[in-house]
Chain A
Amino acid sequence: RKEVEQDPGPFNVPEGATVAFNCTYSNSASQSFFWYRQDCRKEPKLLMSVYSSGNEDGRFTAQLNRASQYISLLIRDSKLSDSATYLCVVNGPDKIIFGKGTRLHILP
């Protein structure tokens, strides 16, 4: 089983739709979790930290399920500017591991 797995996509969704990403991780000792956004040819930028209690930031909601070892990201009312690659990042116990990323294309 890969350390961090994501559906590579691409997800092609119309503007205004809701889109959900999932990510699974294999090491139960992992300590913290993040979603990063990466635009083409740019460095990844933090989108959200992910907590067991769930957290929301505007149109974005992240959730962590430690028992099932998966992380989710929900984007509501998607915008054209949301088009990017979304990387699931798992931190610890001794290194930072990136998922392969899920490409999202928002269609006008």
Chain B
Amino acid sequence: GAVVSQHPSWVICKSGTSVKIECRSLDFQATTMFWYRQFPKQSLMLMATSNEGSKATYEQGVEKDKFLINHASLTLSTLTVTSAHPEDSSFYICSADVGAMVEMNTEAFFGQGTRLTVV
């Protein structure tokens, strides 16, 4: 199946700093990637949909100025958590759209996830 690589797998940062998370599709081109956040014992919550070459679409309640998404190429999307605070500590996962996945009814392919801890 398609491979999605997410990096880093875990990161600890100081409050007020910014953290960048990368999501790469290794053997296919992803026109769309989805970014999720998961707090302990909760489900994945969609944060935003990242579209190559255009602005990301953010879900209600997600601050677009705090969670910057860049999808400059068909194989790379990045999520930058700006001015991170302890409440941003969470598990962040990306998933890639394999050829208009939503229309083609195919499964979602996930990165390994990034565990962010802000201290």
**Which A residues are closer than 8 A to B by beta carbons?**
31-32, 34, 41-46, 49, 87, 89, 91-101, 103
CA distance A7 to B46 in the complex (A): 20
CA distance A52 to B113 in the complex (A): 31
Which residue, B91, B101, B105, has most C-beta atoms of chain A within 10 A? B105
> Can you spell out 29 A-B residue pairs with CB atoms less than 8 angstroms apart?
A31-B102, A31-B105, A41-B91, A42-B113, A43-B93, A43-B111, A43-B113, A44-B93, A44-B110, A45-B110, A46-B107, A87-B43, A89-B108, A91-B102, A91-B105, A91-B108, A92-B102, A92-B103, A92-B105, A95-B46, A95-B49, A96-B34, A96-B95, A96-B101, A98-B36, A98-B43, A98-B44, A98-B45, A100-B43
Chain B nearest CB from A90 CB (Å) reads: 11
Contact pick for B43, options A42, A46, A101, CB 8 Å = A101
**Which B residues are closer than 8 A to A by beta carbons?**
34, 36, 41-46, 49, 91, 93, 95, 101-103, 105-108, 110-113, 115
A-B interface pairs (CB < 8 A), number:
57
Asked whether A99 and B43 contact (CB < 8 A) given A43-B112, A44-B110, A89-B108, the answer is yes
Contact pick for A32, options B43, B93, B105, CB 8 Å = B105
B110→A100 contact, CB < 8 A: no
In the complex, residue of chain B having the shortest beta-carbon distance to the beta carbon of A4: B43
Which residue, A41, A46, A96, A103, has most C-beta atoms of chain B within 10 A? A96
